[in-house]
Structure 1
Amino acid sequence: MRKKEPVTLTDVAAAASVSQSTVSRVLSRYPRVNGNTRKRVLDTIAKLGYDTSAIQRKQAARNSKATLNIEFLLCPRAEQKDMLSLSYFSTVFDSARNYFGRTDNVNLNLCTWDKTRVERPWARLAAADGALVIGTPDRDLLRNLADHHIRCVLIACGSEEFPLDVVGTDNISAGAAAARYLLDNGFTRIGFVDFPDSEEWRLRKLGALAETAERCGAEHFQCRVSASTAPAPLAATFREWMAEGNFPEALILPYSKAMLSLELVLHENGLSCPADVSVISFDDGVNDSFHTEPARFELFPDRIGAKAAQRLLQLIHGSDETPHRIDVPFDFIPGKSVRTRK
């Protein structure tokens, strides 16, 4: 007599009309499964006599692992009073937390770097199994992380001076690509808005934009530095620039919401985008508040957060301790903020 083949997870999924991953989630007691779906899967398991012991052993082994304590270190600029109220940072945090939740037992703790109270956050970092660092860390923090061999991943920040892992986007190369896009569309007076930054990053940005200055003439390529990323200082920067009488015909903005300040100043002067000024930006959340959909290099903070969490676990588990720079690619969205000149 032929021996009966054991019931597989694939058999259960087919009989319950769900995916194999849904069956796995039910067996792992994953909370976000529809109640009716959960009941149908469990009834099918009982009806077919599926042996769940292997999955239960795997779950028990996972639960027996030591809990990892990981610090999510926020390094805000002066104007960023609540970093997690900004969509980019909150999305990075949520995606990192979700990744940890799928792969390891992790306590993810929020911590803010405050220069005036270095002892407290530093003690937490030194005691943690690892750290994710986001925002604008200063050189002293980066040096301490490197010197004390803290397992950490910097998210969209860092310095080539220190051998630390970085996950982010190559916004310097993307900025150069934005400039080329404007040049190729016939613009010759191009401007770039920046924020206070380290000398190293400033030189890298200007180096990447050197081609722009060369192709349109140095006198036609301008850069202005806003006092901060807040709307009021940005608007003040645009007003001062406009008052000088040499406002560029095309702008590269560091993030899309900066366009709201630009649109305000253009309206004050009877101008509009893209009829009078064309814009390319970096996306940190585009919504209906824009009068004109910005052309932009779209960021993927969810991918950045997950990739940073994955890389940190590799460091903690010792699978690859060589510092890496991992860039998550941009997508260019043409939008409607660049006027075709050719």
Structure 2
Amino acid sequence: MRPASIKDVASHAGVAVGTVSNVLNYPDRVADKTRSRVLDSIAELGFVRNDVARQLRAGQSRTIGLIVLDIGNPFFSSLARAAEDAAADSGNAVVLGNSGHDATRELHYIDLFEEQRVQGVLISPVADITERLRALTQRGTKVILVDSPAGGDTFSSVSVDDVSGGYLATKHLLGLGRRRIAFVAGPQRFHQVRDRLAGATRAVEEVAGATLEVLQADDLTVLAGRGIGDGLVGRDRGSLPDGLFCANDLLALGVMQSLTMLRTLRIPEDVALVGYDDIDFAASAVVPLTSIRQPTALIGRTAVELLTEQLSDPAARPRSVVFKPELVVRASTNG
């Protein structure tokens, strides 16, 4: 059996095809009795309108493409949920693409969303793809950078001041009297990691006798953090850092798992630990984690608002919104 068509509905209800179209798109134009008869036919036949065809005819979509770095990271899943809620408020829907830190996969999603004629693309880029995104905008698809500063006036963007966040985290450790600071870095191709390290470096340079060591993790995951923690456990006590700042909470939780499971180093007595993002798991960790909070929901909602601005006024200049992070102190530094 084929799906019911708009012609089938019109025939079943005894009205013109244009009347069915009006019921679907402009119901106030149709008399109550006729509208009820058409709606009954739609329900009886199980008619579902072809929204893709409608969008192609109108040249207008009700979908927004969102490409994130890692949907497995609660930071991005919370951001996506907030963007979805904001889009729903205006009758739109968010279609999610997870690049998984893979540049090729990221480009695939950009191509796919352009083919689907989405209203716009919200993206946390893996790398510098300015030229590809500029070409996208020139062909009519709006682009909003998410968790990434624009670095120019080509695109609107929403981000957090990660240099300030790195400074806050490290300044907190230094204020506790910790002087051998280590930064647990994920891949430094990500500007977020580089910016947080820059902030940490600035804070250490302000305190005489303080040192900063970079511990390089190969990913931004709990497992990568556990690898760093295992390496710390095997060190001589004299070479251990007394303060650890991790590029995100997942790394910090992995370090914490390693240290607490092996029971060789105490948090925060031996090593004070700070994460970044303040995901939900941070507060419920075995040692509640001090973290730098990003306004995740606000980032997601603001990205959709910036897109709405661009769509309502195509001549509007791109706008960059930068939020300030917040230090949330818990037992991992305040035992």
Flag whether TM exceeds 0.5 (same fold): yes
Compute the displacement of 1:138 (Å). Answer: 2.3
Compute the displacement of 1:99 (Å). Answer: 1.4
Whether the 8 Å CA contact 2:159–2:321 is kept in 1: the answer is yes
Write the distance in 1 (CA, Å) between the matches of 2:131 and 2:269: 47
Call closer, same or farther: CA 1:244–1:205 in 2, change over 3 Å. Answer: same
- 1:95-148 deviation per Cα after TM superposition (whole angstroms, max 9, x unaligned): 21221222x3324322344616845641522633211113x42223x3211243
Which of 288, 291, 295 is the aligned partner of 2:290? 295
1:59-208 superposed matches below 5 A? 68-76=61-69, 80=70, 83=71, 85-102=72-89, 104-113=90-99, 115=104, 118=107, 121-125=110-114, 127-134=117-124, 136-140=125-129, 142-149=130-137, 150-158=141-149, 160=151, 163-198=154-189, 204-208=195-199
Give the alignment's TM-score, normalised by structure 1. 0.68
Give the alignment's Cα RMSD to 1 decimal. 3.0
Write the distance in 2 (CA, Å) between the matches of 1:312 and 1:331: 26
**Partner secondary structure for residue 76 of structure 2:** helix
Given residue 228 of structure 1, which amino acid in structure 2 is its aligned partner?
Answer: D
Call closer, same or farther: CA 1:295–1:201 in 2, change over 3 Å. Answer: closer
Given residue 95 of structure 1, which amino acid in structure 2 is its aligned partner?
Answer: A
With 168-177 and 104-113 compared, the bigger mean Cα shift is at 104-113
**Counterpart position of 1:234:** 225
Write the distance in 1 (CA, Å) between the matches of 2:109 and 2:162: 33
Unaligned 5+ segments in structure 1 are 1-64
Residue 329 of structure 1 pairs with residue 318 of structure 2: no
Compute the displacement of 1:167 (Å). Answer: 1.0
Whether the 8 Å CA contact 2:228–2:255 is kept in 1: the answer is no
Given residue 125 of structure 1, which amino acid in structure 2 is its aligned partner?
Answer: E
Whether the 8 Å CA contact 1:95–1:303 is kept in 2: the answer is yes
- 1:134-173 deviation per Cα after TM superposition (whole angstroms, max 9, x unaligned): 3x42223x32112432411121135626832221221221
Given residue 275 of structure 1, which amino acid in structure 2 is its aligned partner?
Answer: E
Given residue 270 of structure 2, which amino acid in structure 1 is its aligned partner?
Answer: D
Pairs aligned (count): 267
Which of 266, 272, 279 is the aligned partner of 1:272? 266
Write the distance in 1 (CA, Å) between the matches of 2:152 and 2:232: 34
Compute the displacement of 1:294 (Å). Answer: 1.5
Give the alignment's TM-score, normalised by structure 2. 0.69
Write the distance in 2 (CA, Å) between the matches of 1:297 and 1:119: 33
Whether the 8 Å CA contact 1:298–1:331 is kept in 2: the answer is yes
Call closer, same or farther: CA 1:117–1:254 in 2, change over 3 Å. Answer: closer
**Counterpart position of 1:34:** none
- 1:183-225 deviation per Cα after TM superposition (whole angstroms, max 9, x unaligned): 2222111111111132766654443333333234687211112
Given residue 206 of structure 2, which amino acid in structure 1 is its aligned partner?
Answer: R
Call closer, same or farther: CA 1:192–1:309 in 2, change over 3 Å. Answer: same
**Partner secondary structure for residue 209 of structure 1:** helix
Write the distance in 1 (CA, Å) between the matches of 2:323 and 2:193: 21
Call closer, same or farther: CA 1:275–1:320 in 2, change over 3 Å. Answer: farther
Write the distance in 1 (CA, Å) between the matches of 2:161 and 2:326: 12
1:1-20 superposed matches below 5 A? none
Compute the displacement of 1:339 (Å). Answer: 4.3
Write the distance in 2 (CA, Å) between the matches of 1:92 and 1:317: 23
With 322-331 and 171-180 compared, the bigger mean Cα shift is at 322-331
Write the distance in 2 (CA, Å) between the matches of 1:165 and 1:197: 24
With 240-249 and 170-179 compared, the bigger mean Cα shift is at 240-249
Write the distance in 1 (CA, Å) between the matches of 2:292 and 2:190: 24
Compute the displacement of 1:249 (Å). Answer: 0.4
